[in-house]
Amino acid sequence: MKITVLDGHALNPGDLSWQAFESLGEIRVHERVTANGIIDAALGADALLTNKTPLSQSTLEALPDLKYIGVLATGHNIVDSITARSSGIPVTNVPSYGPESVAQMAIAHVMNISRQVAHHASTVRNFRWAQNKDWCYWDFPQIELSGKTLGIIGLGTIGLNTARIAQALGMKVIANRKSDKPMPEAIDKASLDQIFEQSDFISLHCPLTEDNEKLVNQNRLAQMKPTAFLINTSRGQLVDEDALFQALKDHRIAGAGLDVLTQEPPASDNPLFTLENCHITPHIAWATLAARRRLMDTAAHNLASWINGTPINVVNP
């Protein structure tokens, strides 16, 4: 079994081991490949592992030896799964490897925004406190979270973990989800209109689909309170960034905390970078060591299960 990893650096920059895959076959790890180098890197592989390197129809058709694709993530839209299925190639993903980590990042953005932690820490580093006439100072209103309303869109495992942490902080949680399952105790079911109109913080936790691309658009942003904040640790394409920029620039909403953007890496001239009330982290909600270790273990188990004739986590059956 020849196993090739196309972009191993994202999952394992050096603090994990590929040993679980080494026990399954001969493994070759590329830290990253260019768009023009994907086919050359993948030629001869029986199994391909990819995090964000795309595998299009033309790429798959150029790889006659390929028998298996493992996506080192939950989202698998980077693979042409239909073409893979027509070629008899299963595509697997890794669901639910980091719900605690992503939830913590969502709440980290809530807490940073509510108290402006990063901003004030940077002013201290620049000696402002040492040179201050008073014993303390703050540049933005300090917001107590107890009693505030968190609206969650997408109440899967990550959304539920986010709700649990928010409730521990004394927040009221309302949520919208497509499932007909009963709502958990102390979480009120809400329509999207209610989420956008009533929430002090809105946190996105839904997968990207054709139906919800640019879910947060000019009309939805207009429904939000001028004191409300948007948090997105899910997918950048859920948000119309042009509309968000205008809403933030005009202070029609108070701020945003984003761990994802529509284009990643983003263009250096992304206008959101210019806004003091937009706080952006580089898609790291998933990246704790614990979450990445679970991802690695599950991806190896996926491949081992396929080798043994009992495939799991197949997204293109």
Q: Is 17 left (phi over 0), alpha (psi -120 to 50) or beta?
A: beta
Q: What phi, psi does 116 have (nearest 5°)?
A: 55, 50
Catalytic residue IDs: 235, 264, 283
How distant is the alpha carbon of residue 28 from its chain centre?
Answer: 27
Cβ neighbours of residue 269 under 8 Å, at least 6 residues apart?
Answer: none
Alpha carbon distance 316, 123 (integer Å): 51
How distant is the alpha carbon of residue 183 from its chain centre?
Answer: 24
Find tokens 């925004």 and name the residue.
113
Beta carbons of 296 and 49 less than 8 angstroms apart: no
CA within 13 Å, CB half, 57: 3
Neighbours of 215 (CB within 10 A): 20
Alpha carbon distance 92, 90 (integer Å): 6
Alpha carbon distance 297, 317 (integer Å): 22
Torsion on CA atoms 204, 205, 210, 211, rounded to nearest 10: -70
